[in-house]
Amino acid sequence: MSKPIELYGKPWSERDYLIVLHYYLSNRGNPRHHLSPYIKAAAAIIGRTPAAVVMRMENYASLDPHESVQRVGLINISRLGEKVFNEWHDKEESLRECALVFIRDIAANNTPTLFDPDPVRLPIAFGKYELLDPIGAGGFGSVYSCLDSQTGAVYALKIIKTGFVDDNETVSRFRREIKALKAISHPHIIKIHEDNLDKTPDYPAFVMDLAQSSLIDYLEDKLAGTRDGDNRPLLPESEAAHILFSVIDGVKALHKHEPPVIHRDIKPDNILHLVDGSWALADFGLTKFLPRATVTSTFATASKQGWGTHGYGAPEQFQDFKLTDERADIYSLGVLTWELLSPSWPPFDRAYTLLPKALEDLVVKATSRDRTDRHQTLEEFERELRAALADAAS
């Protein structure tokens, strides 16, 4: 067994989903509980906990027209789970035959013994979180949904990509992300619940809040809902302003920390819509703890390598990462302001913002290539943004 699978487990496969759907359809009307015999039987077959099987059946109940429309299990279902349900739920006989083939195959390869009687293998990195589905990936890490087998609560688990475990620079960045999230608690910064740095530091991972979606997905859903696919901005100004100020509040908490922290990768992909409706900044893989005094550092700067996301990253990030300070985040927030409020389409063009004059002046100043011409503090940027929004509304 490979080290990552041993530590974190395996995500749900199409076979897992299909077998559980067979048990779900065969037991309509029966109680769904972790002690229910058919739940325990399905869990034993696929090597999952009963709690995970119950959750998947609640997912299916949310999709099932025969069940109440009030079910709420969709929050945790994946596209693969929806695909399996849509393809098989009205083909019960074919589903049963297919599921029985899979069940026989599993039984032939996983016969329990006196020394190994339990088919469920919780990953050892945390001891209680069961891997569910892949939900996203960044440059260095992959994010999965996971289930707390003790409480039934669902979280997100971020794991370093296996191709980077021997890359000291990337491992250091991943550890730094964990350090930053543990250091700062704020409603608009994603909350970390547990990490494994003390147990398995060579394969760093951490458990955090599970989001409904990222801002980029949220905007894409809004775009898909427009009649002609040509309406920008995609959000009402009041909602766009709420998101902007939520992100600004989170970034202010970073900049006011001792030592100050800069994010360096603020973009819609890294702004998450949480289950309670709030917005939080995530993905701290490019975070930097900013020393108050000038220091010499070789971390990720020996070759003057640039990091960041083109279109959102400040120019100095691609020249020499050592040059970045709080004003790099202000640049990204300027682009985000344009993204949420402008009727023009990407890519961002300072000469063609199509924003009202006050907002255009704000965005042009925030995104100056020369950081000395930008807003010098986040408080200055926020103050001018509020004034520009008020001016645009008058």
67 and 30 within one domain: yes
CATH number of the domain to which 349 belongs? 1.10.510.10
pLDDT tens per residue, range 298-349: 233 333 455 778 899 999 998 877 779 999 999 999 999 999 999 999 999 9
Residue range of the domain that includes 317? 211-393
pLDDT of residue 227: 67
**Catalytic residue list:** 265
Among 157, 177, 208, the domain boundary falls at: 208
* Residue 124 domain flag: no
pLDDT higher at 4 or 313: 313
Residue 323 has φ and ψ, to the nearest 5°, of -80, -10
On whether both 355 and 342 belong to a single domain, the answer is: yes
229, with CB counted inside 10 A (0-12, 13-18, 19+), is: exposed
* 102 & 217 share domain: no
Last residue of a domain, one of 174, 208, 242: 208
Over residues 255-309, the pLDDT tens digits come to 999 999 999 999 999 999 998 999 999 999 888 888 754 333 323 333 345 577 8
Record the pTM.
Answer: 0.86
Hey, what are 252's tokens?
């202010």
Q: Which range among 109-123, 195-209, 280-294, 324-338 has the greatest average pLDDT?
A: 324-338
Residues 194 and 221 in one domain: no
CATH number of the domain at 133, please: 3.30.200.20
Q: Is residue 2 part of a domain?
A: no
My answer on whether 369 and 225 are in the same domain is yes
> Do 230 and 335 have their domain in common?
yes
152 and 238 housed in the same domain: no
Instruction: List the single range of 215-224, 227-236, 247-256, 346-355 with lowest mean pLDDT.
Output: 227-236
Q: Are residues 196 and 229 in the same domain?
A: no
In which band, very low, low, confident or very high, does the pLDDT at 124 lie, cut at 50, 70 and 90?
A: low
Average the pLDDT over 76-104 and give the result: 93
CA distance 173 to 99: 43
The answer to whether position 382 is within a domain reads yes
Between 160 and 368, whose confidence is greater? 368
Q: How far apart are CA 92 and CA 102, in angstroms?
A: 15
Q: How far is CA 148 from the centre of its chain?
A: 17
Q: Do 191 and 275 reside in the same domain of the chain?
A: no
Regarding whether 348 and 220 lie in a shared domain, the answer is yes
Give me 361's structure tokens: 């002046």
233 and 370 housed in the same domain: yes
Rounded Cα–Cα distance for residues 266 and 332 (Å): 6
Q: Please give the helix or strand (H or E) that residue 157 lies within, else none.
A: strand 154-160
**136-148 b/e with 16+ CB inside 10 Å = b?**
bebebbbbbbbbb
